[in-house]
Amino acid sequence: MNRKPVYLAVYDTLADWETGYATAYLARNGYDVRTVGPTTQEVRSLGGLRVRPDLALADVRPEDGALLILPGADLWDTSSDLAPFARAARAFLDAGTPVAAICGATAGLAREGLLDDRAHTSAVSFYLAATGYAGGDRYVDADAVTDGNLITAGPTEPVAFAREILRLLGVYEGEVLDAWYRLFHDSDAEAYAVLEEAAAR
């Protein structure tokens, strides 16, 4: 199957542990995961990983992708350097292409006004309230939230974040998705058998 690529935003101070479950299982299921930086110059994650982006943000067109993933990063809260990625998220959503944001990226979306009218979550409600956004009444105290084509999650929920992405793109469904989540979130050994049976079909 010829699928559109998934775009993974990468920038200095990105929280590299937040997107690994999602990108690994997207790649294992036929998606080309392409990294997108402010430019194509190398960036460094919070974990010290050096990443040379495949593409610069200016060269990405929403209609060409299946999904834009925005990880957290210190820069979301300490500067306006990542505001172009929040504006890109608006363009993706306007084009009908999904966006998934976790941790500090949710604050970037809040500042951009993208959470004012959508159900969403983040680290805690007062973290987003500090942005001055108008969507506080749409905040949901949950591990991850999907509203239409927008997924949000807090920094401690990379597995739930991935679950919502895998569901939205139809990678796993029903009991298989539930088993995947239970395996990686709860270390449920019985869930592994469900996944093995599904893989053998």
pLDDT on residue 199: 83
Reduced to 3 states, what is the DSSP secondary structure of residue 120? strand
92 vs 198, residue with greater confidence: 92
Average pLDDT over residues 84-110: 98
Distance CA 69, CA 100 (A): 5
Distance CA 106, CA 138 (A): 13
Distance CA 92, CA 151 (A): 13
- The residues carrying an active-site annotation are 103
List C-alpha distances in Å: 89 to 16, 54, 84, 97, 173. 19, 18, 9, 9, 26
Question: Other C-beta atoms within 10 Å of 93: how many?
Answer: 19
Among candidates 135, 5, 133, 154, which has minimal Cα distance to 72?
Answer: 154
Q: Answer yes or no: are the C-beta atoms of 56 and 39 closer than 8 Å.
A: yes
Which residues partner with 161 through β-bridges? none
**Length of the chain, please?**
201
pLDDT band for position 198 (cuts 50, 70, 90): confident
Residues 6+ apart with CB under 8 A from 138: 115, 116, 117, 118, 119, 120
Structure tokens at 175: 């009991």
Q: With a cut of 90, say whether residue 16 has pLDDT above it.
A: yes
- Residue whose structure tokens are 């920094």: 155
Q: With a cut of 60, say whether residue 1 has pLDDT above it.
A: no
| pLDDT, tens digit (0-9, with 9 covering 90-100), for 67-96 | 999 999 999 999 999 999 999 999 999 999
